[in-house]
Structure 1
């Protein structure tokens, strides 16, 4: 069985809204043997959170200061970002990191901070789901290096070639979604990984993993299942159910630099 990889996963809020602080944590995580360093991607969060950092700027600094850890936004609500801009950002960040980028993508939610409604962005889940799928299709085409010709319901790309390409020719995409809902599982099966949302127990994960496996076009290719769990959770149970990555789940309200440092110094799951 392939060992479970471990990642520090932090919200860029308040004390962690300083990119320089986050970079130092990423360097420490790499020194302590962690496999990944992922960050939340939000433009607003509910009170008492007051300060937020930009994930792309922060990850660029992390990429320049580290050499081994996988990095990425976990997850990006792609429907509130222009896919042609994300295509440039992801390719540049992947180049800067030497091919270490993972793109987490999902619908997002308005309920944690009104980060759709307060900016006039789409709040309907079905519409955002269509925008997500369309955006992901554009990204895949853009990373190919071939001219992109796309005219859809939400986006237009008129014969544009996106260069340079990512280091390995593409970027792994992990799809976030509720494990009991069919459409997120279908979407996840078309990409490279799954990040279950509000996962309750290992049996629920095992069922989702089996469903995705049956839906995948080629179930023999590598596939990741990244599960967000507290450091004191029963990680072994989720590993047996199909978890390939453990993401450290922390409280977004009041998590301090000291809290994150304590987790990373305890070391990754082995």
Structure 2
């Protein structure tokens, strides 16, 4: 068993299809919005149905600001290493240090040869890759004396000037499966990047052993080689197999891979926006929590007088609640009263209020965690609103076309939410009871049954959900009009200002009225 102690990170593995060029860009931007650490793209230069990966990465780098980018993995036989070194360093400088370098020795040799590349045997491919890494690292080492010199069997550079240096220490990750490639990973690389679908049971353990031995022989610490993994699967209400089931099953399986096989970066292969959202919002946090708990337990000394063995493990939401048991301590987000628009979609003074909380009541940590989740979900929507403003400014500056902006907005949670079901219900019910439909286990129907005094508040919230939908439609119409109206930016900004007013007002009202009932009544 291997756990190298690296913090867990999560990424997306996207197909660079050219039929809808804006789609893959929108998915990359979505991945950043929902919290991914990394976005990667297939690199098959011989595939006419794909965009060129390095051109795409440059475009995506200009549309994002925090997420890291990499080819998964770069097709080295069609990417000369001297040119590749400067491409990587240049994009890393332009993106503020957000580029990593996945490398592969090559596959699909008929297609490579048809494009002018040289067909190599497996052994030749490994040797060519080792030479390429030498070339790339020499180009990046601007402090060394003299030019780049590699007189290899496959790559030859005779005194080229070094540079530029990347903005950060770019990781070189190898897509390796066979012993020679695995040994090369341990000797020279910063990461191992296989795909789980290509591995047989035990391959991760065997691969780690080869990499670790090779690293030690090269005088390196095996932990210097990060273990990454491309994963695919299916989200389903009931588990039917590995990575085929509810989000909590995914989290447990990924946590086991982290603790048993040392995997610290999980990269989801999917072009489905909903899969990306669920992986980032439900799987990643739970997997991080499970791994952190196990690591803490492994390093915490046992007490002198051990306590009795505890009962069944608490559900994930109760393992690390935002507040402890006792008096109600979840703080709703206040409405600061600031408004950007002169239009009022509703009269806030007519909003009903629910029953006053019982000040003598106490709440368990699980109760409070359930209530806190409503605030957390809303915080995500507030953050999306900020990103929406940024996107509109990019449209106004000519950096993003209106059509691309529409496509991008349509992938946002604020657009995808079925507002008639309730913001909270759409997210929380999926986390807690993935095997039931939202309609069967919706939060609003449950609260109605639990406390009839909440009915006027719930009726009003549902009315506001419909109104928010109409305001979002107004934003969409303003984007459509932007390209044909002389002063379309004014209308677009006004529509987004109205959305900001209605959404922030509504979220504050919903939290004020529902956090305590959710804690008090639960969800079952």
Question: Shorter-chain TM-score category?
Answer: 0.7 to 0.9
Tell me, yes or no, if structure 1 residue 26 matches structure 2 residue 28: yes
Match of 1:212 in 2: 211
Match of 1:239 in 2: 258
Q: Which residue, out of 28, 49, 54, partners 1:51?
A: 49
1:122 CA drift (Å): 1.9
* CA distance, structure 2, for counterparts of residue 127 and residue 31 of structure 1: 42
1:76 CA drift (Å): 1.0
Query: Aligned to 1:244, what secondary structure does the other structure show?
Result: strand
Written as runs of structure 1 = structure 2, the 5 A alignment for 1:120-135 is: 120-125=116-121, 126-135=123-132
RMSD (Å) for aligned C-alpha atoms: 2.0
Match of 2:133 in 1: 136
Higher strand content, 1 or 2: 1
* CA distance, structure 1, for counterparts of residue 222 and residue 115 of structure 2: 42
Match of 1:71 in 2: 69
* CA distance, structure 2, for counterparts of residue 77 and residue 26 of structure 1: 21
Structure 2, gaps ≥5 residues long = 235-242, 244-252, 286-524
Match of 2:39 in 1: 37
Query: Aligned to 1:41, what secondary structure does the other structure show?
Result: coil
Structure 1, gaps ≥5 residues long = 251-258
Pick the structure with greater CA Rg: 2
**For the structure 1 residues 64 and 244, does the alpha-carbon distance in structure 2 shift closer, same or farther, using more than 3 Å as the test?**
same
* CA distance, structure 2, for counterparts of residue 84 and residue 13 of structure 1: 27
1:183-230 deviations in whole A, cap 9, x for unaligned? Answer: 1111111210001241233x3212312321222132165431111111
* CA distance, structure 2, for counterparts of residue 152 and residue 204 of structure 1: 32
* CA distance, structure 1, for counterparts of residue 18 and residue 25 of structure 2: 15
Match of 2:181 in 1: 184
* CA distance, structure 1, for counterparts of residue 279 and residue 36 of structure 2: 7
1:25 CA drift (Å): 1.6
For these two proteins, the number of residue pairs brought into alignment is 250
TM-score, scaled relative to structure 1: 0.85
CA contact (8 A) 1:42 1:115 kept: no
Tell me, yes or no, if structure 1 residue 174 matches structure 2 residue 173: yes
TM-score, scaled relative to structure 2: 0.45
Task: Using CA pairs under 8 Å that are at least 6 residues apart, name the structure with larger relative contact order, 1 or 2.
Answer: 1
1:7 CA drift (Å): 0.5
Higher helix content, 1 or 2: 2
* CA distance, structure 2, for counterparts of residue 200 and residue 239 of structure 1: 17
